[in-house]
Every structure is written in C-alpha cells, then in structure tokens.
Structure 1
Amino acid sequence: MSGPAVVLVGPMGAGKSTVGAVLAERLGVTCRDTDQDIVEAAGKPISEIFLDEGEPHFRELERAAVRTALAEHTGVLALGGGAVLADETRALLAGQPVAFLEMDVSEAVKRVGLDAARPLLMINPRRQWRTLMEERRPLYTEVARVVVSTQDRTPEQVADEILAALQLPSTQPENQR
C-alpha cells in the first residue's frame, strides 16, 4: 500500500508533531505536518487565516492539504486537530495506519496552556477544549487503527507503543531508544 507509514490524529497539544518527529527518526523517513503545509501555502499563520478568511476557508485549505499529503507523502504524517471533521478526509483515511493520540484537558493545559494563539480556544478555553473533544473524539476513534494515550508519557514511549501496535519495524536498535 502506498501512502504514509503512519498518520497521527488528535487534539491540539496532543504531541502529533513531536511524536511524529520521533516516529520518523525511528522509521528512517521524514515527517510532514499538514498545518505547516497550510501555513507555507497561505504565507501566514493559521490564526490569521481564521481571522482574515474565516474557519470555512481554513477547512477548505485543510482538506486540500490532507488530500495532497496522503497522496504524496510516504513518511509520518501529522494532521491538524480538526482535519477529521471533513467526511472526505475520514474517507481518505480509511485503511491508512492511523494513530489517535489522546489526552485529557489537564494534560492540554500543561502542554498548550489553553491561552496560546489558538483560534478555537479564544473564549473560555477549558470549556471550548472539552466541547471540541466531545465532538471530535468519535471521529478520531473512527479513523484510528490504534488509540494511544499521551498522558504523562514521553514522546519516545508513545512512539514505541505506536510502532508495536501498527507492527512497524524501527530502524533504530532497541538499545538506542
């Protein structure tokens, strides 16, 4: 099967980019982040896209970025937190080696502070994060082949669990992990 070696989904702050980098190193491939693809293509941060053009426009850019990355990238692919909202994206993820990185709100607070420049968390960030997760958790679970908690775990521990669950061979010897 062509396509990414691993696709990471989950909420903002779950560690998709960090775990993705560890997985890419272990697998001897590159890591790609669709949010970064969008920023590079638009020439501005996601928060500015939300403010200037609105969420619907951002979601269009996101669908296109995911579609392109799934077709082109053979390494580790990290998707933005809301990418799974699109029916098209969920359909494209069917059969892919997807890992859902999950955490609870207390871990999100530790990682992103919930006061960062995240457009969907601007008003009452804790409640907003919980609401987003209630909406998105079933979608993350739907597309995932494996669900891995990042709660109080290192990126290396999370990567080890993903590699084992997806039965992917690491290029890094066991004693160097």
Structure 2
Amino acid sequence: MPAPVVVLVGPPGSGKSTVAAQLASRWGVPARDTDADVEVVAGKSIGEIFVEDGEPHFRALERDAVLRALGEHDGVLALGGGAVLDEATQEALAGYAAGGGVVVFLDVSLAHAAPRVGFNTARPLLLGNPRAQWQALMEARRPVYERVSTLRVSTDARVPAQVAAEIDEAVRQRPGSVSQDEGSGS
C-alpha cells in the first residue's frame, strides 16, 4: 500500500504547499495538497464552500481528502491548516507515523506568516481581524500540530528551499527512507 514520503502540517502561511513542491522536486516524487483535492471534489474554492455549504461540510470533505491521500499518495503530502483538528485525521496520522512515516510541523510566527498569507478573504477563517484570528488559530492548533508531528521545522526568515533542505536531511537520516534511494537532494 502506498504511503506518503512525508506529510506536512502547519498553520496558514507556514509554506506547506511551497515546501511540498520543493521536496517533491528534490526527490522526484509527486506533490499533493489536500486543499486542492477538496476544491476538485467540491467543484469550487474553499472560500465558496465555507460561504455556501458551511465549515462542517468543508471539514467533512477535508477529512475524506486526507484519509484518501494518506492511503493512496506516494509523494509529498501537504494538509490544510485545520485538517489536524479532526480526530480521524489525528488517528490516521498516528498510524502513519507509527509505521515509520514522517509528519513535519512547519512552524511559523505571526510576524512571518502575515506577509505570506496577506490575510485576504480567500482564507475564510481569517476574516474580521485576521491577525487576531490567526493568533487564536495557532493557540488552539499548536498543541495538535506538536502532538501529530514527528519533526518540527521553523520556516521563519527562511526560503522554501532552506526548509526543504532541512527536511530532506532529517528524512535521509531515517533508515530505509525513500529519499535515500531517489534523487541526490541537490
């Protein structure tokens, strides 16, 4: 059964999608983003899903996308920022990690997330006072990100290639890692 080489989790603005693409390129494997999967299944943007169908509907689609990707994707997988809040997702990530999978928490401070996110309306959970909303999200989610991850990497003041290089090095240290057999990492 295929399993991702690595799973990236973290808040909005941590660089999950960009770092996933960098890692996938280094290792010669595909990158996949569960937010994109949700949009394909729903036939509309995440913002539209929130407005038209509500957050519970979005979270159900997100859970299904994560569970499906964990079972069928063999590259780098980036999860939506709130995906880790679902109990079934937490259990699936725990099983993946117990089987030797690497779950990376891309950590970022508000000061570094703000310019990346732009705090625009495409991120429905950041409407209103986006900085306060982001801070509240992080306070609630940080313990979950830390619990489900096997590796924490700060993305503050770093470009995606630097973050990818650190993850690559950490994964290469693991016995039997796919990246040891594929790509040179440079």
TM > 0.5 fold call? yes
Match status 1:35 vs 2:40: no
Offset of 1:154 from its aligned partner? Answer: 1.1
Instruction: Determine helix, strand or coil for the equivalent of 2:14.
Output: coil
**Conservation of the 8 A alpha-carbon contact between 1:146 and 1:166:** no
Q: What is the distance in 1 between the residues matched to 2:165 and 2:91?
A: 27
Of residues 99, 105, 108, the one that matches 1:100 is 105
**Conservation of the 8 A alpha-carbon contact between 2:15 and 2:155:** yes
Instruction: Determine helix, strand or coil for the equivalent of 2:104.
Output: strand
Residue 75 of structure 2 aligns with which residue? 75
Q: What is the distance in 2 between the residues matched to 1:163 and 1:20?
A: 11
Residue 15 of structure 1 aligns with which residue? 15
CA displacement 1:149-169 (0-9 Å, x = unmatched): 010101111011111222253
Instruction: Determine helix, strand or coil for the equivalent of 2:74.
Output: coil
Of residues 136, 161, 165, the one that matches 1:131 is 136
Residue 122 of structure 2 aligns with which residue? 117
Residue 60 of structure 1 aligns with which residue? 60
TM-score (norm 2): 0.90
Instruction: Determine helix, strand or coil for the equivalent of 1:35.
Output: helix
- RMSD, aligned CA: 1.4
Q: What is the distance in 2 between the residues matched to 1:145 and 1:163?
A: 14
Offset of 1:114 from its aligned partner? Answer: 1.3
Single out whichever of 132-141 and 165-174 deviates more from structure 2: 165-174
Offset of 1:172 from its aligned partner? Answer: 4.2
Q: What is the distance in 2 between the residues matched to 1:98 and 1:117?
A: 26
Q: What is the distance in 2 between the residues matched to 1:113 and 1:4?
A: 30
**Conservation of the 8 A alpha-carbon contact between 2:27 and 2:184:** no
Look up the equivalent residue of 1:14 and give its one-letter code. Answer: S
Same amino acid, percent of matched pairs: 55
Q: What is the distance in 2 between the residues matched to 1:42 and 1:155?
A: 29
5+ long unaligned stretches in structure 1: none
Give the length in aligned residue pairs.
175
**Conservation of the 8 A alpha-carbon contact between 1:34 and 1:77:** yes
Instruction: Determine helix, strand or coil for the equivalent of 2:153.
Output: strand
Q: What is the distance in 2 between the residues matched to 1:91 and 1:112?
A: 29
5+ long unaligned stretches in structure 2: none
Offset of 1:12 from its aligned partner? Answer: 1.0
CA displacement 1:97-154 (0-9 Å, x = unmatched): 1101010111111101113421000111000000000000111111111000010101
Instruction: Determine helix, strand or coil for the equivalent of 1:166.
Output: helix
